[in-house]
Every structure is written in structure tokens, then in C-alpha cells.
Amino acid sequence: MKIQILNCGGTIDKSYNPAREIFEHTKTHLPQILNQARIKNLEIETEELFLKDSLDMVEKDFQQVTEACEKSAFEKIIVMHGTSKMVESAKLVAAKKLSKVIVFFGAMIPYELAQTDAMFNLGFALAAVETLPNGVYIAMNGEVFPHDKVKKNGAEATFETV
């Protein structure tokens, strides 16, 4: 099965900079994450769109995500995205009514940290993109949500049904 992963950064891709005492984007961790997942029977192509916290995304970034999904030759797409603006981005992609399965995922805790949810959420997104019918979804916290029936609960650091 062929799957494309479009990378937008988000918390999952942040690294700690001890000199500045902040988490920031310096490079993607996606190759490490995929290597650690030991995926053997899937053909995965990755494309880095940008590396940003979704709180910093502007209209041009949302448009870039939408256009990348639209122009992709793949019918199964995963979008690695910051969780703060994931729902908004998914709704914009869904408005294009593409005949593809598109699954957004991210992490509440950076991949580099021991308590990360990155690996679980990636695995869940891969299972979702392989089995769901055409549409746009968010795969987080062990659940799959249709793009128009989900919201982020910031206080609980989870996603939930609207």
C-alpha cells in the first residue's frame, strides 16, 4: 500500500534548545519516527511542507496544506500537523471534497521526550488511513474523528467529539 505523509511540524517535531531554554523547530524527526516504527510492508513517501507550531500558521500555510493534499498523486495521505490548528486545517482540506483518505495526526508532547504520544498517534493514523473510506479525519488519542465532528480540549490535552 502506498501512503504519503505530509509534514507540517507541530509539537511532535520540536526539539529542546538548552541555550535558549525553549522548544523549537530545527529539523524533522519523521525519518527517525518511521525507522523506529519498523514499517516493512507499506510504501511511504514523505514531503516536508514546513516546520511550524500550528499556532504560528498563517493563511498561506493552510493553503499550502490544502494544495499539497489536492495535488498529491496518492489516494491515502497522512498529515503530520500541530494540534492547535489541526481541526481548522482539516476542515479546509475537506472543503475540496477530494476522493482520498486524508488523516491528520500530531502529538501533545514532542517526539524527543519520553512521555510522547507521537509513536502511538502515528501508528493509529497509519491504521486509520489504511482502513477508512474516502474523507478527512483526525486520528488522536486512540480515536478517529470525522473532520467536522471534533474539537481539541486544551484543558485535557485531548481531542473529543463535538
**For residue 144, what pLDDT is reported?**
97
**For residue 107, what pLDDT is reported?**
96
Percentage of the chain beyond pLDDT 70 is 100
**Mean pLDDT of all residues in 36-53:** 91
Cell triple for 114: 519520553
- Phi and psi based region of residue 57 (left: phi greater than 0; alpha: psi -120 to 50; beta: remaining): beta
- Which residues partner with 140 through β-bridges? 143
pLDDT at 160 over 90: yes
User: pLDDT tens digits for 101-131?
Assistant: 999 999 999 999 999 999 999 999 999 999 9
DSSP E strands, the chain: 2-9, 15-17, 22-24, 43-52, 76-80, 101-105, 135-140, 143-146, 150-153, 158-161
